[in-house]
Amino acid sequence: MKNVLPFGILMIFGVAWIGCGAGSESAETATEVANEDACACLIEMKSSLEGILAEEHADWTAKEWTQSLTKSTAPCMRAKRTPEELSAWSQAQSVCDDFDAYKNLVGAFRAKLTAAVQDSKKMPQDIKELTSDGAKGLLDQLSKQR
């Protein structure tokens, strides 16, 4: 359950930059407007990620990373879209000038999120993992350090 939210957010990013369908060829003007909107949204998303990644958050948990992304997600990405619309939207974004820079930022965010998940797995989740005697053993060890 802990990995569902990060996985969901990564899926949103994945869909945003992996397009597999194209828009209607019969409405070129509408497609051009949609492409402009998609590129404007990509610029907003890129700015949001740059803001998150600009600050040093070495001690953030995976939950804090995902919450920061949720808070700063561009409104244009929150729009409800059908799978076909999402595919066309992703395709339109893939031809934007800032697409490669955005894709790199998504990769950097994913690396930070993955590192935070890995760090949380390294921490003992049970006091018995700290010592063989559990809480009593931990207290004994701490009292000997004085």
DSSP assignments along 47-100, one per residue: HHHHHHHHS--TT--HHHHHHHHHHH--GGGSS---HHHHHHHHHHHHTSTTHH
Task: Please report how the helices 99-122 and 4-17 are oriented relative to each other, as an axis angle in degrees rounded to 10.
Answer: 160
Alpha carbon 92 to chain centroid, angstroms: 20
- Say which residue the tokens 């597999």 belong to: 20
Full domain range(s) for residue 45: 4-144
What is the per-residue pLDDT for 134? 56
Tens of pLDDT along 9-38? 544 555 454 444 444 444 454 455 556 689
Domain count across the chain: 1
Please, what is the end-to-end C-alpha distance for the chain in angstroms?
40
Tens of pLDDT along 39-48? 999 999 999 9
Tens of pLDDT along 104-134? 999 999 998 888 888 777 655 555 555 555 5
What is the per-residue pLDDT for 101? 95
Mean pLDDT of the chain: 74
Tens of pLDDT along 64-113? 888 888 888 888 888 888 999 989 999 999 999 999 999 999 999 999 88
Contact status, residue 134 vs residue 128, Cβ threshold 8 Å: yes
Return the higher-pLDDT residue of 100 and 145: 100
Entry pTM:
0.59
* Residue 126 host element (H or E): none
